[in-house]
Amino acid sequence: MLRSVLEIAWPPVCEGCGDAYYSGDTPGLCDSCLEARLFPLTEPYCEVCGQSYRGKMPSHLQCSNCRNRYLEFDFAVGAYDAEGEIMDWIHRFKYAQEIHFARMFGKLMTRVWEDNRMAAQKEWIVVPVPLHRKRLRERGFNQSLEIAREWMRHSPPDQKMRIVNALKRDRYTTRQATLDRRERLTNLHDAFSLSRAGRRCPQDANFIIVDDVLTTGTTASECATVLREAFSPNKITVITVLRG
């Protein structure tokens, strides 16, 4: 209520066009910029990593990133393409401590529910990709956890979900965004393990791994590896704001 009153007196400013706006479903974006500046991922897309393609494609498509690789998660769903200004907003969120972007990204990521494979399950354990304790001190927050919290606020009422910090990061690794493809594929090997909270998860759970961007899928797959080794999960899904 307080936020609504304040926004009447001081309307929010759109990150896209810089103008004040009084209505819109996405925090930080007016409806015009939401439509004009962002590129939603739509079918056809890779059935494993969610990479979207233009034009006619086979119904069961695996992209060149996933073909001849074994990724430990069942499938990944992204909301938008990592193209245009939204990548700058991601960088400001993560590296300039502009944590207010979590509200925008959490709302944008609700598009993942349009995938029928998500709606097929009704109970999930939501697992944010963890940061190493040194990185967490540097950044001040875990971006994946903040996005997960905001995303869950907008999720369908028939979905039963809870956040569990089920994983921990054991090695302080080079940021994936600074590496080439070959380096990304090996940089995170054995970087994650099960946390104390994770040991209390049920054996046959459905897991959702949450991150901001999926590129090669290596981070998500390493996280899924730990969950598969510890449990007999029914489903491991990855959701991200962007597909790189």
- Mean pLDDT for 64-84 is 90
- Mean pLDDT for 188-195 is 89
Q: In this structure, what is the dihedral angle of CA atoms 43, 58, 184, 208, given to the nearest 10 degrees?
A: 50
pLDDT at site 82: 94
Percent of the chain topping pLDDT 70: 88
- Domain regions of the chain by residue span: 1-37, 41-243
Of 137, 144, 209, nearest to 172 by C-alpha is 137
Cite the beta strand spans of 97-205 per DSSP E.
123-128, 160-163, 167-169, 192-194
Q: Which residues contact 81 (CB under 8 A, 6 or more apart)?
A: 39, 40, 41, 52, 242, 243
72 vs 237: CA distance, rounded Å: 10
Q: Minimum mean pLDDT among 9-13, 25-29, 224-228: which range?
A: 9-13
For 113-164, what is each residue's pLDDT tens digit?
A: 999 999 899 999 999 999 999 999 999 999 999 999 999 999 999 999 999 9
Q: Identity (one letter) of the amino acid at 124?
A: W
Of 209, 213, 184, 179, nearest to 82 by C-alpha is 213
Whole-structure pTM value: 0.90
Exposed/middle/buried for residue 77 (C-beta within 10 Å: 0-12, 13-18, 19+): buried
